[in-house]
Amino acid sequence: MLLPQVSFTHLAYLILLLLLPGLWWVSQRSLAGLPAGRARLALGLRCALVAALVFALAGTQITRPTKRLAVLFLLDRSHSIPDDHHQRELDFVNEAAARMGPNDRAGVLVFGSDAYLEVEPSAALRLDRIHSLPARDYTDIAGALRLAMAAFPDDAQKRIVLLTDGNENLGSALQEALGANAAGIQVDVVPIRYHYQHEVLLEKLLAPAEAKVGEPFEVRAIVNSTYAGQATLRFFRDRQLVESRPVALRPGKNLIRFPQTLTRSRPHTFEAVVEAQPDQLPDNNRALALTLVRGRPRVLLVSADPEDARFLAAALRTQQIEVDVRAPGQLPASLADFQTYDSLILCNVGADQLTPDQMKMIRSNVRDLGAGLIMVGGEQSFGPGAWRGTPVEEALPVNMEIRKERVMPSGAVALVLHTCEFPDGTRWARETAAAVVDVLGEEDKIGVLLYSPPEEWGLPMQPARDKDFLKTRIFQLNPLDMPDFHRIMSMAYDGLRKTDARVKHIIVISDGDPQSPTSRLLQEITRAKISISTVAVFPHDSNGVRAMQQMARATGGRFYQVQQAEEIPRIFLKEAQRVLKPAIIEEVFQPQAQMDAPLLKGLGVPPPLRGYVATTAKQAPGVEIVIASHKNDPVLATWRFGLGKAVAFTSDATNKWAAPWLVRWGGRFNQFWAQVVRWTIRSTARASFETSVEISERRGRVVIDALDEQGNFLNFLDIRGGVASERRSLDLRLEQTAPGRYEGTFDAPDTGQYIISLSYQDPKVGQRLYTVGASVPYSPEYASLQANEPVLTGLAERTGGRLHPGLTPDPSSGYPRPSRKLSGQGGEWGRILFRHDRPTHAAPVDLWPLLVLVTAWLLLADIAVRRVMVSPREVWGWLWAGLLALLRRTGILRSPRAGMEQPSPEPLVRLRRAKEQARQRVATGSGPGRIAEPAGAAAPPPAARGDEAASPPAAGTQAAEPSLAPTPKPSRPAVAWSKSVPGVPAAAGPSDPDFIGTGARPDAVPAADASATEPEDHTSRLLRAKRRARGQDE
């Protein structure tokens, strides 16, 4: 049996107990005026008060044994658990919980890759369904055990009941079980067993990390089957079907080979898909691999207009650089496809022609994978192309914002928002207006009009400086259905007319319902050089479409008809370019070049240019302005961005602005662009590295064994890089762990391809890049075909738990159905699961709340002892009365029956005895020491005298109470009263049950002292009678 133990959570506070002697000494002086007994009592109370307060501050706890049992059921809801087992788990929990004892508690926790407490431990448990939704792509039993240990109440024995198949792929449950055992927590395991009789899965697709152009190699697929049968294996290269092959499968693992010879230098992706019937889990029929083939570098040139790319593509081809020219809509759709090219050139391309995902892939391709990026100027490029605030701007060495010291003509735009009758119409209107704010410069102006009603400036015309404030205001707007465009167009016209902007533009988004503005208003808008572009979103009829077309045509704007809401932001960005046109400088100037720069080596002084787009060089390390304009604006700027390099050329590569370079520079135009492009191309090389990449438990691990050409270890290399997938990009840093060995890890929570680019400094050629790949084709949950028995057994053994028989597969079925329901076993096992067979558990109980309460009561008692004067006899009387009342209330002492005499405390007996003696004296009219009335005084009437003999009780009135004790001899003379006292009721006398006197009338005063006697109240007479009664007893 465990004895209670006292402990403290804040032991340092106990030092305050040293103040008690001083408190005793000081209190002795302050309580000197009290009687000795009261002083000692007050002193003891005061010391007890301070001690209780100190123990409360010290966090006093008492550890006492408890018999309460808390059970937590942990339910595995990962993908490896067949869905038809879920209800059986609930049945088991409900039937087991029905066997709980009155002091027991039960709760439920569900888990997959994360864990949630569905029901905290409580006295009643009944589950109809699970409301928590943990991620099911992985199984983290260890994390579920940690959460369960934290969810248990402290004052109970603890038991975990784990329902799982044991197929964990995150953490270590066996390691966590050791912690549970140390905490005194038992883990009982209910195995969820299943067996897939007809299942085919693709375990791996093996391909070399690198290959040479024209070099033959093999890609091998490993197919695992639980039965013998026929299947079809489809093989894809770079998302194109290469071969569809019928295969005969044997039970177990099957190896299928695909010979390959590649002729193009690029990373090649391979994919294999197996199809078989029957097949119970189709999610595990796919595998991926990646091989990097080295060869000549390739460049992707993107241009919306073929004329913009014609001169540049020809120049690169003459310099033996392989170039692919594509339109913006033909950009690679995945990051792996971007690896085909070593550099990307955006030639006069606007941001509205690329998707946000493509912009992010371009940034990641440069920063994380070491590719090159070049942006060439034009009317659709840089600031006028609405690239401000995009991921592509982040990768470039220049900002689209023009520096503040430059005085540039600004633009102004008024947005007219009209609610459109399609899903999320208001949200799209807000988001597109916010997108326009992002691309405007700080000196540009923006205003937003809407019908609220009435027509109003939801955002007054103002400079687009505080963009966060402007977007917050825009998202608070709520445009409604306006009746016509005339008034709101007039307001937009007046607002733009008052600005000093060089370019003024109105953008209208509507479904065409409102009536058109008058032709006179459109003429005034046109004379003010204000253009209107209209966007028709899901118009109701052709009349509205024609009206919006006419509005745009009359003012020199453009008309758009939207079929999908996703097109709206791109259109607004395109229209914002009208406002950003002032950034274009069109005048002949002589470029100022740094002739010692590597990009201009051997070229001489460049000829003049006829125009460029104004930008601002970034204030960042590594940014170099190779060529500047006559206004000191960047024309050619370079920098390193992550693992890659980026170039900004703000003039164009056509015969418009760069005509002098084409004509007067001769062949040096081709050499210039070849040198710029070669500087950006990623410097990959076939290294003497042995690299392995493994992905497990949502973590990737890269191991490199670095050797030189002679086979010697390469030590102390600074190897860093990046990891890119379709959803995210990450930095990667490798640390040396052994001679020539470097290791690093990265997060890999998603399925798909992972491309790892590593950068290192070669002592001979400088920085080099090394690229490898890895893939996660499907969740590891789909690779588990049966329960993990070693984990299930180990969990029970390491914690002293029991192993439930669990679910057994039905051999006659091809599906994992149990041969008997799990329900029905829960009740049987409930008696065992809630059996109190654990060692007695001692739980700490905080005493500080009780000590604080005791401190408060001791404070009141201390005040009462020092300030309230009560005799010990009265205190004992109160305690006696309280004790009697408590005994009667609890039924220990019966209340007296009506009419029976009740025992009275001794003071009341004496008081009643004195009262009876006084009544007898009044009745006889005699007694020693009687004071005679003065002569001539009128005798009071009998009623006034209170004579009981003269006035019998009225009918129905209760008779006088009989005497409780024999009448003693009077020890004091009776007093005769002479006359009534004003203010005292005449009826007050011995017949009054509340009257206590000495035999005389209470409404009279002694005759001998009538003139000097003051009136007495009832309380004074009562106290005087009590004193006389005590004196007579004595």
855-888: pLDDT as tens digits: 898 888 888 877 777 666 777 777 788 888 877 7
Q: Is the pLDDT of residue 755 over 50?
A: yes
What topology does CATH give the domain 411-579?
A: Rossmann fold (3.40.50)
Q: What percentage of the chain has pLDDT greater than the value 90?
A: 29
Give the number of other Cβ atoms within 10 Å of residue 702's Cβ. Answer: 22
Q: Is the pLDDT of residue 530 over 60?
A: yes
DSSP letters of 474-499? HTT------SBSHHHHHHHHHHHHTS
What topology does CATH give the domain 68-195+786-839?
A: Rossmann fold (3.40.50)
In a 10 Å sphere around its CB, with 0-12 CB exposed, 13-18 middle and 19+ buried, how is residue 896 labelled? exposed
pLDDT recorded at residue 564: 59
User: b/e string for 2-32 if b means 16 or more Cβ within 10 A?
Assistant: eeeeeebeeeebeeeeeeeeeeeeebeeebe
Percent helix, strand and coil across the chain, each to the nearest 5: 30, 30, 40
Rounded to whole angstroms, the Cα distance separating 481 from 510 reads: 9
Least confident of 527-536, 567-576, 603-612, 656-665: 567-576
User: When comparing pLDDT for 320 and 63, which is higher?
Assistant: 320
pLDDT recorded at residue 1026: 64
What residues does 735 pair with on adjacent strands?
A: 743
Give the number of other Cβ atoms within 10 Å of residue 116's Cβ. Answer: 17
- For 200-294, which CATH superfamily applies? Immunoglobulins (2.60.40.10)
Q: In sequence order, what are the residues at sequence separation of 6 or more whose Cβ sits closer than 8 angstroms to the Cβ of residue 783?
A: 201, 203, 284
pLDDT recorded at residue 623: 94
Q: Is the pLDDT of residue 926 over 70?
A: no
User: When comparing pLDDT for 947 and 875, which is higher?
Assistant: 875
pLDDT recorded at residue 980: 42
pLDDT recorded at residue 936: 44
pLDDT recorded at residue 949: 38
User: b/e string for 684-694 if b means 16 or more Cβ within 10 A?
Assistant: beebebebebe
Q: Which band of pLDDT confidence, cut at 50, 70 and 90, is reported for residue 840?
A: low
The domain spans of the chain are 5-64+846-869, 68-195+786-839, 200-294, 298-386+584-680, 411-579, 689-770, 906-930+962-1033
Q: Is 420:430 a contact under the CB 8 Å cutoff?
A: no
Rounded to whole angstroms, the Cα distance separating 178 from 146 reads: 11
Q: Angle CA(183)–CA(186)–CA(189) in degrees, nearest 5?
A: 140
pLDDT recorded at residue 422: 55
Q: Is the pLDDT of residue 286 over 80?
A: yes
What residues does 415 pair with on adjacent strands?
A: 448, 507
Q: Which band of pLDDT confidence, cut at 50, 70 and 90, is reported for residue 317?
A: very high
Least Cα distance to 555 among 526, 517, 579 occurs for 526
Rounded to whole angstroms, the Cα distance separating 201 from 254 reads: 10
What topology does CATH give the domain 298-386+584-680?
A: Rossmann fold (3.40.50)
pTM: 0.60
- Highest CATH level, class, for 689-770: mainly beta
Is the previous residue joined to 409 through a cis bond, with omega within 30 degrees of 0? Answer: no
Average pLDDT, the chain: 80
Do 689-770 and 68-195+786-839 have the same topology in CATH?
no
Q: In sequence order, what are the residues at sequence separation of 6 or more whose Cβ sits closer than 8 angstroms to the Cβ of residue 97?
A: 106, 125, 126, 830
State the angle between helix axes of 86-97 and 825-833 in degrees (0 to 180), rounded to the nearest 10.
50
Q: Which band of pLDDT confidence, cut at 50, 70 and 90, is reported for residue 32?
A: low
DSSP element (H, E) containing 289:
strand 286-294
pLDDT recorded at residue 272: 95
